[in-house]
Structure 1
Amino acid sequence: MTSLPHPALHASHSGVWISTGGQTRAVSRGEAIGLASETPVILLNAPLIGQRLGYAELSGLDILELFAFLRPAQFAVPTPHGVARACGLEPPDSDADVAAFLLRATEKLLAMPDGAWPEREGAWTAAQSLARLRWPWAPLIGPRLTRPERNERWLFSALPEWEEDAPRPAPRTIDLPPQDSEERLRRLTGDGAEERPGQRAYAAAVTAAFAPRAVRDTPNMVLAEAGTGIGKTLGYLAPASLWAERAGGAVWISTYTKALQRQLSGETARIFPDAVLRKERVVTRKGRENYLCLLNLEDALQGGFAGRAAVLAQLVARWAAYTADGDMVGGDLPGWLTTLFRRNGSAALTDRRGECVYAGCPHYRKCFIEHAARASVQADIVIANHALVMVNAARGRETQTRPTRYVFDEGHHLFDAADSMFATALTGSETIELRRWILGPEAGSRGRRRGLAARLSDVASYDEGGNRAIGDAVQAAHALASEGWLGRLAEGQPFGPIEALLAAVRGLAFARAEQPGDAGYGLETELADPSPALIEAAGPAAHALDALLRPLVTLGQRLEAVLQEAPDWLDGQARARVEGAIASIAWRAETVAAWLSLLARIGGPVDPDFVDWLAVDRVEGREYDIGLHRHWLDPTRPFAEIVLKPAHGALVTSATLRTGGNWDVAEARTGAPHLARGPAHFVAESPFDYPNRAEVLIVTDVKRGDIPQLANAYSRLIAAAKGGTLGLFTAIRRLRGVHGRIADRLARDGLALHAQHVDPIDTGTLVDIFRDDPSASLLGTDALRDGVDVPGSSLRLVVMEGVPWPKPTVLHAARKLAGGGSAYDDRIVRARLAQAFGRLIRRADDRGAFVLLSAAMPSRLLDAFPPGVAISRVTLDEAVARVAGRLSSDAPIGHGDSQILPAAATEFPDR
């Protein structure tokens, strides 16, 4: 019998249970809400339980918060089975047993301080602060903690400081024979490893990317497609690590997803088995917005946060003392922690506005971001992402240590990453962020945020020209959008030239883009034949932005002059702060200049290199942003100019690099045509036996967009597969509609259903939950179509709601026109189908089925699937029977009675 004074509550789609005094009973949702509102209850994931009860404000003693306090920087799958594994307990057998299990798990966790406890340091201090914040767990955990005999060196005093290193010399020019890469690969895979001829050939071929460059601005570029199962990660790590070792330089390996970053970090243990050496030689880099800002955390701990946000700050502080790298997004901070607080305050703990004061920060020498930046200079392997690589190349401060060799894994995403990086958006939200960066806190606002004048006060006192430029920038920033701008625009009362411009944009977008029966989604229209109101508003807006750009440029020049003059007060830290300010100001000046260029388009000639449009962004009828947008028609042009040309070698690789086209398409999507010399090509087909391990079923009798029919199809297919299903949707509305109709029904059969955009859990954690439970299923959208790696029986069925046609936006229409019309759409659909199918078979012993709920699937697109895979058009009844039979027996998949489509099958309509 438990000795805890609190009952435990559990709610699932199949029922609600309360456990107290050794007894568990089923209760109604109303009774559970009543109990939870009157007394603290122990539960697992309060936001999720609250959603299931229909009681959004549910709070209590969340066992995940207790785990985060006691085991900072450790992950547990946030499910009863995951907590059981983390606590060394037997998991509950059913939903009805979970409430009693939570009591046992709580007692096990609370007993931790009595034994060997690696994270004891700092716990007592944190518990005192949490008690003052009325954290529900404080009365239970506080008495179990012994006050330390001496003052604890906790967090800010205990974190290590980085040290300056001598500049690293340029990499040596070496020749790397392909056979050396093959030998390194053999050592990495180990003796007795399975022979993989494709992997060996891949390693030899991609070595060409590490050869010495012969012509300036012409890197050695290799495009390599390696099918799933080839082992491309070790295939390129072999030559990359060998080149870094012999040349004394760093290879930057860039990914698109955080999941692959984590996987790569694990694979490097083969190169550097010693953990201490690996930490020196392999560094993971992300954008600044991913890392904890210690100055923001200090502000939060000293009263900058209140209520639940303050509790989150204390738990993050516990994590910060034990984290490996300070990465809050995809690092060792559990992804579920911030969602427990409904995102309350987590964004304010990172530097999302570019307000870092660098050496002016008291925690500068302990800064996680600076640690990573300096460590990467001396590293052999830097694991980054496409966005960071492009940002660093375009406006990074580390110009002297710019990498000469890149590996772009998930290379089929380079086009999309470049499209986002090199775009321009003159919107209300962007202008208000710039206003805050310049002015700092205005009337009624709180927080540590400081304006430009405060951040550069010592420079202003030294340099009269700089001081005058700061004043001019501050005055000009008042013309930007300010708090409450959306409301003023809706009421037809814009304030200032930028808000007047946004009001004209809104008016024209509604006039041209509003459709009968509009569902409240975003509106957009081409920036063509602008209205007189828009033309009239553009002039004053351009004048206001020009008045802002001039002092920013002047201030940057004055700061450069300060560095040249090197006054007495400009020590190492002050110099670093001034250099950081120069980079930050240059970024803002570049943004304002791009806005001016966009405004010049209004009423002016069309620039064929760009696509311009007006947009009102809405979610379910609620407007959240308005503005003008500009994208490159071909974003690989600036990517090639800024990233590829300065490099000496670049490998672009993916399992689906050519999918949807041929090598011409692959080259066009990676920037190769903009280089003086074409790339080398290499292909290694997947070794998996797709014909016998998978089949494709196209269901012909489910009406597109019919929610009841879709729900029925998903429910029956998931039940037939007994879970293990990844359901992919092209619209969030339909996903939510299907989930709402089938979650309870499946739960009664013991089949858990999780959903992106429904469950209050981050996407990465949802995938962890799905991977951990073979009977669970997961519904999601584009984010789950690519980059999800769930090998084994946890994923045995993929169901797509329909043909993933691209959304008909202004930008897509322009690229479709330039890219060959309907053939352009076909290439996109083929790529998406291939990526979705690629989730199914992740290792040689995987088996499963891919179901597409669309009678209108054109036969010409069926070559998106691997050669030899059986493709059948069947009714839903047949598909359900096929899935149940194939996934519950040892019969080879793909050889059944239904019609197998020949290569020249009758064409079906496009839509």
Structure 2
Amino acid sequence: MTTKFVVIDLETTGNSPKKGDKIIQFAAVVIENGKIVEQFSSLVNPQQPIPLFIEELTGLNDEMVEDAPIFSEIAPNVLKMLDGAYFVAHNVLFDLTFLQEELIESGYEGFYGPVIDTVELARILFPTADSYKLNDLAFMQGLEHSRPHQADSDAYVTAELLQLFISRLHTLPQATLRQLLKLSGGLKSDISLLLDEYVLAMERTVEELPAHLELYRGIALRKQDEYGVTTGDSDTVYPASHDSKEQLFKMVFPTFEKRLGQFDMMDAVYHSFLEDKHAVIEAGTGVGKSLAYLLPGAIFSRENNEPIIISTFTIQLQEQLLANDIPLLQKMLPFQLRTVLLKGRNHYISLSKFEQTLKDDEDNYDTSLTKMQILVWLTETKTGDIDELNLSSGGLLYWNKVKNDEAVILQNKSWMQYDFYLRARKAAEKADIIITNHSLLLADLVSEHSILPKNDYVIIDEGHHFEKAAGKYFGYSLDYLSVRLLLSRCGLMEQKQLLYQLQQLLEEIKWNQNNEEVLHTFELNQLISELQFEMDELFRMISSFVKKKAKRSYTNRMNCSLQNYEDTKEGKAIFNSGERFSFLLYDLISYFEKCLSGLESESEHFTIEQRRVLTDISSLQLDLKGTREKIKNVLLNPSSDYVTWVEMDARAVQNATTVYAQPVAISDHLSEQFFHKKKSVIVTSATLTVNNSFDYIINELGLNTLPLNVERISSPFNYKEQVQLLVANDLPEVNAVPLDEYVAAISEHIISIAEATSGRMLILFTSHEMLRKTHDLMKESGLLEDYVLIAQGITAGSRTRLTRNFQRFEKAILLGTSSFWEGVDIPGEDLSCLIIVRLPFSAPDDPLTEAKCARIKEIGGNPFSSHSLPEAVIRFKQGFGRLIRSSKDRGIVVVFDKRIISTRYGKAFLESIPEVPIRRNNINEMVELIEGWL
């Protein structure tokens, strides 16, 4: 193609040309015939001072632009380049708006040709990317981008990305390109013109689909592999008797580093399965836990024709098992291992529903963009799992229309052979190993329609989270945003959502004539209006209740117990509102049920569009029923064994208000409904013991009355030589001074330690408020200008992305809380220092903690030693484990909380981690020791 693209990037004095902000650097890269043919870059004198924050961001200052041309001097060259070209930029509206202002101010007409936004193009063509920021896309594609926020570097890397995007377009099937073209009219940039050129060009050629793709009902899909194909000798298994350790090890690990701890764990797992006994196994960092349970699991499964369920708490571990450990295991086995990842039904796309929505004409921007993302994704995905996609909030709303659910009435049956969910379930029936998560494993226990095949043997990895996951599963939560989105799917008549579409259907088939079940349009509108009003009232009352009752907090997050809430005047008003809302929901659900049952018998004569409406109504009705059930269990009739509470954000009261109900004690539920029903469950983690004892986790999981194997396998790492643990002795007691004073003290220490370690530091906090204040103070100090500060909740991005960015910079400091205490893997010199700011005790006024402690007190126990301390120790062990990830790692752990050595209970923390040298120092001694040791 001979299309000309001019890729432009600007650096400016601010974000608003209307308020007088000006260009300070202009760069353009010209692409013709798919190749870069010209580059142009110039500093620009803005004739005004460059703000300090722009100077810090771009590295450009007043001196550098003092002798540069003003924009009007380079304008003719800019217009000449743009003649007959597409204007391309990353977030094109920003660059285009600035350029237009400058051109018009210089006496020119401006640019009014076609524009391409590479952010928009990236979202469509790389729908599974973690991020669409320029730096992250360049990193993902392996492009060099050494000077971000300088126009020439940004423009060049954007041009390279555009070339990759164009190459990606060439690989898409004609059917996909035609569908993208049809949807592209509502985009913000002129991608439709580009697609139109490609579609016209390809129609002159005969398409031969790549071998990995197929076309079905006009949609291009990746061909799915057949499950259960055996390529090895399926009758061969390794000897696994107790006296054949060495033989088994040599056969499986001929070139592998021999880890005796790993083999001890294999033995423990295999024999627990053989004996039909449960087991609790703590395997320290470096044992090779995943392979240590996968290998005996695979062998036992094939020998006994029994599926092994492996349940994890995090998606990251599932990805690690599938991407790294399973392929490695497969190389060791003489038979083809059949493995499948199985998630809840709503995780998978319904291709039948998706096909129907492609026929809708009145799409908003987010819906059109999401459809385009999914069309490209379907040429790549093997799973059809939403967790692969990076969708906007509007895209997630659209997902509700195309997710797989039980509302399969009237769906197009021709899609069943391609249904991702059914394929995953079918694969699970033949699988040796089924990977899932704690939530699905628990949900499957009492589901009327079991998702997992019958199973008696389970491995629970990240087992320290199983009790918490069970609490959420056996509990309920009701949040404002979800309920509002649910009612918006229904919509008032004038909004032309599902309720309107149902009424249109009833009129089309004249079902409403002489039918007493049909409500008048006015009555339906009134019902929806009352529901929306009552929902707003209910959550408004709840948030007012929290503001009045909740204890003062340094953060905007507030929580408040709802135990016996109806005993107060405000509580009675909440209860009455909840009742009214529940009754109104019942009326709407009943109306949908009557319509659905009456129409089902006539459905065989319906059009495809009419079938889609009924399927969507059926799906909506299921969700409304679920919401009504939550209201009953959370507000109207909570069990006496449950604790109920509210969490909300004071800045966005309604949108961030959630009501919870959870059992106070999970152990009885787990014992009766899970462990008693399985022959052998292996619970494993790197952090299960407290003071070398399993008592806490055994009691929490309800395993104390069952036959049980326990095994503690120490880490093979030499912690004495690899780690120094330093406790600051010149900081105030954390609870003895105001927060700001404590933050000021630790910030000084962090700055000094950062200079000694050259960054490469992870700082773990127990509160977002302390993290934010510390980050702001460190930044304001001006002493860490050479360092990149990356802070959870402040720096945009997921935990994975923040961690990856941390590893990219030589001098970086990562501040994290909550999820950063575990699951973060930063091996080698990327991480040399770990700072633990506070011992990680749960807040004493946390409603669930309060209720658990009260329950322990009732039965004569000590809440601190039985619950608060062991919970904090396990969390501390998780945090400690972030530092040493391989036998070659070395590092420093610094604890700012003096309670670890000044209190009797502090010993529990120190005796629960590997034995390491412990030193108590002031900051000067600490810095000297760090510099010498690292």
CA contact (8 A) 1:127 1:141 kept: yes
Partner SS for 1:622: coil
Q: Gaps (5+ residues) in structure 2?
A: 15-22, 29-38, 45-49, 59-69, 79-86, 98-114, 229-234, 857-861
Partner SS for 2:787: coil
Residue 325 (structure 1) aligns with: 383
Residue 257 (structure 2) aligns with: 194
Residue 838 (structure 2) aligns with: 802
Residue 893 (structure 1) aligns with: none
AA aligned opposite 1:884: E
Partner SS for 1:885: helix
Q: Distance in 2 between matches of 1:726 and 1:710?
A: 14
CA contact (8 A) 1:184 1:238 kept: no
Q: Distance in 1 between matches of 2:587 and 2:139?
A: 61
Q: Distance in 2 between matches of 1:789 and 1:317?
A: 34
Partner SS for 1:283: strand
User: How do residues 319-468 of structure 1 correspond to structure 2 at under 5 angstroms?
Assistant: 319-329=377-387, 331=388, 333=389, 337-338=390-391, 343-349=393-399, 357-358=407-408, 360-362=410-412, 363-395=415-447, 397-398=449-450, 401-425=453-477, 428-429=480-481, 432=484, 440-443=490-493, 445=495
AA aligned opposite 2:385: D
**Equivalent residues, number:** 816
Superposition TM-score, scaled by structure 2 size: 0.73
AA aligned opposite 2:712: V
CA contact (8 A) 2:404 2:421 kept: no
Task: Quickly say closer, same or farther: Cα 1:773–1:285, change in 2 above 3 A.
Answer: farther
CA contact (8 A) 1:432 1:482 kept: no
Q: 1:751 aligns with which of 787, 803, 820?
A: 787
Find out whether 1:257 has 2:314 as its counterpart. yes
Q: Output one character per residue of 1:730-756: Cα deviation in whole Å (capped at 9) or x when no partner.
A: 222332333344458789754322222
Task: Quickly say closer, same or farther: Cα 1:231–1:864, change in 2 above 3 A.
Answer: same
Shift in Å at residue 527 of structure 1? 1.9
Q: Distance in 2 between matches of 1:200 and 1:717?
A: 40
Partner SS for 1:252: strand
Q: Output one character per residue of 1:360-408: Cα deviation in whole Å (capped at 9) or x when no partner.
A: 3445543433332332222221111111211222326236823322110
Q: Distance in 1 between matches of 2:726 and 2:93?
A: 39
Q: Distance in 2 between matches of 1:470 and 1:635?
A: 45
Residue 135 (structure 1) aligns with: 189
Q: Output one character per residue of 1:229-286: Cα deviation in whole Å (capped at 9) or x when no partner.
A: 11111111011111222233321111111111111112111233599x97x8221223
Residue 710 (structure 2) aligns with: 681
Comparing 418-427 with 65-74, greater Cα deviation is found at: 65-74
Task: Quickly say closer, same or farther: Cα 1:206–1:127, change in 2 above 3 A.
Answer: same
Q: Output one character per residue of 1:488-524: Cα deviation in whole Å (capped at 9) or x when no partner.
A: 5xxxxx4xxxx3xx56645544443354x87643241
Residue 82 (structure 2) aligns with: none
Task: Quickly say closer, same or farther: Cα 1:67–1:569, change in 2 above 3 A.
Answer: closer
Q: Distance in 1 between matches of 2:404 and 2:796?
A: 28
Comparing 353-362 with 643-652, greater Cα deviation is found at: 353-362
Q: Distance in 2 between matches of 1:208 and 1:556?
A: 52
Q: Distance in 2 between matches of 1:357 and 1:584?
A: 9
Residue 19 (structure 2) aligns with: none
Shift in Å at residue 783 of structure 1? 1.0
Residue 23 (structure 1) aligns with: 41
Residue 357 (structure 2) aligns with: 299
CA contact (8 A) 2:283 2:715 kept: yes
Q: Distance in 2 between matches of 1:617 and 1:851?
A: 33
Residue 663 (structure 2) aligns with: 632
Q: Output one character per residue of 1:73-123: Cα deviation in whole Å (capped at 9) or x when no partner.
A: 577996748726724x5452x557x64333333443444588798833357
Q: 1:283 aligns with which of 334, 340, 351?
A: 340
Find out whether 1:483 has 2:532 as its counterpart. yes
Q: Output one character per residue of 1:19-77: Cα deviation in whole Å (capped at 9) or x when no partner.
A: 44543659656799999xx9977449999xx9xxxxxxxxx976565555555657799
Task: Quickly say closer, same or farther: Cα 1:177–1:289, change in 2 above 3 A.
Answer: same
Shift in Å at residue 199 of structure 1? 0.8
Task: Quickly say closer, same or farther: Cα 1:396–1:554, change in 2 above 3 A.
Answer: farther
Partner SS for 1:207: helix
User: How do residues 605-624 of structure 1 correspond to structure 2 at under 5 angstroms?
Assistant: 607=640, 609-613=641-645, 615=646, 617-620=648-651, 622-624=653-655
Residue 887 (structure 2) aligns with: 844
Q: Distance in 1 between matches of 2:626 and 2:177?
A: 48
CA contact (8 A) 2:480 2:654 kept: no
What is the aligned-residue RMSD (CA, Å)?
5.4
Task: Quickly say closer, same or farther: Cα 1:396–1:239, change in 2 above 3 A.
Answer: farther
Q: Distance in 2 between matches of 1:202 and 1:680?
A: 12
Q: Gaps (5+ residues) in structure 1?
A: 51-59, 167-171, 214-219, 489-493, 888-911
Partner SS for 2:171: coil
AA aligned opposite 2:643: V
Shift in Å at residue 716 of structure 1? 3.5
Residue 111 (structure 2) aligns with: none
CA contact (8 A) 2:666 2:701 kept: no
Q: Output one character per residue of 1:862-892: Cα deviation in whole Å (capped at 9) or x when no partner.
A: 32652321222323333334333333xxxxx
Find out whether 1:815 has 2:852 as its counterpart. yes
Residue 204 (structure 1) aligns with: 267
AA aligned opposite 2:155: L
Partner SS for 1:249: coil
AA aligned opposite 1:306: N
Partner SS for 2:886: coil
AA aligned opposite 1:147: M
CA contact (8 A) 2:690 2:912 kept: no
RCO higher in structure (CA 8 A, sep ≥6): 1
Shift in Å at residue 700 of structure 1? 3.6
CA contact (8 A) 2:9 2:89 kept: yes
Q: Distance in 1 between matches of 2:618 and 2:185?
A: 43
Residue 63 (structure 2) aligns with: none
CA contact (8 A) 2:92 2:116 kept: no
Task: Quickly say closer, same or farther: Cα 1:741–1:845, change in 2 above 3 A.
Answer: same
CA contact (8 A) 1:396 1:583 kept: no
CA contact (8 A) 2:491 2:528 kept: no
Residue 771 (structure 2) aligns with: 735
Q: 2:304 aligns with which of 232, 247, 251?
A: 247
Q: 2:369 aligns with which of 296, 311, 336?
A: 311
User: How do residues 839-878 of structure 1 correspond to structure 2 at under 5 angstroms?
Assistant: 839-857=882-900, 858=903, 859-863=906-910, 866-878=913-925
Superposition TM-score, scaled by structure 1 size: 0.75
Q: Distance in 1 between matches of 2:802 and 2:345?
A: 25
Partner SS for 2:924: helix
Q: Output one character per residue of 1:751-808: Cα deviation in whole Å (capped at 9) or x when no partner.
A: 3222221223222222233344454332221111111122222222222332222022
Q: Distance in 1 between matches of 2:604 and 2:244?
A: 52
Find out whether 1:650 has 2:681 as its counterpart. yes
Task: Quickly say closer, same or farther: Cα 1:348–1:743, change in 2 above 3 A.
Answer: farther
Q: 1:719 aligns with which of 755, 778, 794?
A: 755
AA aligned opposite 2:293: Y
Task: Quickly say closer, same or farther: Cα 1:12–1:400, change in 2 above 3 A.
Answer: same
CA contact (8 A) 2:262 2:292 kept: yes
Residue 5 (structure 1) aligns with: 6
Q: Distance in 1 between matches of 2:13 and 2:690?
A: 41
Q: Distance in 2 between matches of 1:274 and 1:196?
A: 16
Q: Distance in 1 between matches of 2:795 and 2:578?
A: 42
Partner SS for 1:271: helix
Q: 2:141 aligns with which of 57, 80, 86?
A: 86
**What's the % identity of the aligned pairs?**
19
Shift in Å at residue 484 of structure 1? 5.7
Shift in Å at residue 411 of structure 1? 0.2
Q: Distance in 1 between matches of 2:853 and 2:340?
A: 40
